[in-house]
Amino acid sequence: MLNHLRFNSPTILIIIFTVLCFIFQMSYDGFTELFILNKGDLLNAPYSLVSHMFLHANFSHLLFNMFGVLIFGSLLELKLKDRQYYLLYFGSGLIAGIVGSFIYTAALGASAGVMALVGASAYLFPNVIFYLLGVIPMKLRTLAIIYFIYDLIGSFYLSNVASEAHIIGMFSGILFGYLYYTKKLTKANPLSNIQRVEAHIQGSKKNSPQRVVVVENNSASNNGNNSKKNKSKISSEDFSKKVYVTADESSEYLNSNK
């Protein structure tokens, strides 16, 4: 699941930068205090709304959060563009930070952003199997429910855990997933060439099992080249014309462009 990650992908960059910040925390006195989110200090240090997401209380805190970024972030990278990923992660952390600045004496950690990744993953990939503690298989939507119940109970009984920020992060992620799923976070014409082929493969099974139209271009429609004789080998260049292909050839295009 991780072989699609690039060195400059959001997941990898967030992990690297967060680990570097933790090294600075361990190496320099006063570093944590400079960038932590303190109650009522938004006007004096507005940058702390973001900077506190890169700080952690101890190694186990860091390890748990970065494991979450790696697992759920790598899954979301299969769907999201980089800017959408950053909007989800830092936007959720920003919202949780604003609310948290009125609740907690001081706050640090990437947990709100991580929970946003969990929420968005559960919405966009609800049936993906996750192994809790490495041994208990469950669907992502089930895992999200368990996390929510744990944080809801923790908001009453755990004084050293920002459970409210976790809940805000998760619901921010779920809302993001909903907006993405309903195309409200994409452009007016979001379909890629591959998505168009996938749609036409499905249509061909019902309507025309022999041939399907992949893409129609007005200039191609007007030059008389719309007959079934236009069958040609599928390539990215073919999508500038109106091309008739078989479902098998469409599948070949899909497989070669994954």
Alpha-carbon separation of residue 198 from 32, 101, 172, 181, 203 (angstroms): 50, 47, 30, 17, 9
130 and 213 part of one domain: no
pTM for the structure as a whole:
0.69
- So what's the pLDDT on residue 193? 53
Assess if residue 5 is contained within a domain.
no
Residue 223 in this model has a pLDDT that exceeds 90: no
Indicate the angle between helix axes 10-27 and 82-100, nearest 10 degrees. 40
Residue 217 CA to residue 203 CA, distance in Å, equals: 19
6-24 pLDDT, tens digit each: 778 999 999 999 999 999 9
- So what's the pLDDT on residue 45? 86
133 and 207 part of one domain: no
Residue 125 CA to residue 196 CA, distance in Å, equals: 21
When pLDDT is averaged across residues 49-56 and rounded to a whole number, the result is: 93
23 and 110 part of one domain: yes
* Residue of higher predicted confidence among 192 and 226: 192
> Average pLDDT of the chain?
77
Whose CA is closest to 115, among 150, 84, 139, 78? Answer: 150
75 and 163 part of one domain: yes
234 and 130 part of one domain: no
92 and 205 part of one domain: no
Dihedral of CA 189/202/240/256: which sign? positive
Number of domains comprising the chain: 2
Residue 215 in this model has a pLDDT that exceeds 60: no
- So what's the pLDDT on residue 197? 55
47 and 139 part of one domain: yes
Residue 85 in this model has a pLDDT that exceeds 60: yes
Assess if residue 187 is contained within a domain.
no
Whose CA is closest to 197, among 140, 143, 120, 256? Answer: 256
When pLDDT is averaged across residues 147-158 and rounded to a whole number, the result is: 83
Residue 116 CA to residue 236 CA, distance in Å, equals: 35
Task: Work out the pLDDT band at 224, boundaries 50, 70, 90.
Answer: very low
- The residue segments making up the domain with residue 232 are 193-256
> Which residue matches tokens 């920002």?
162
Cβ neighbours for 105, distance < 8 A, ≥ 6 positions apart: 38, 39
Task: Work out the pLDDT band at 227, boundaries 50, 70, 90.
Answer: very low
157 and 87 part of one domain: yes
Domain boundary among 133, 153, 181: 181
Task: Work out the pLDDT band at 162, boundaries 50, 70, 90.
Answer: confident
Residue 137 belongs to what H/E stretch? strand 136-139
Cβ neighbours for 102, distance < 8 A, ≥ 6 positions apart: 39, 40
Alpha-carbon separation of residue 74 from 57, 128, 190, 207, 256 (angstroms): 24, 13, 22, 37, 22
Assess if residue 139 is contained within a domain.
yes
Residue 131 belongs to what H/E stretch? strand 129-132
117 and 14 part of one domain: yes
When pLDDT is averaged across residues 27-35 and rounded to a whole number, the result is: 91
As given in the structure block, the two tokens for residue 56 are 């952690």
Encoded amino acid at 217, one letter: N
156 and 216 part of one domain: no
Task: Work out the pLDDT band at 209, boundaries 50, 70, 90.
Answer: very low
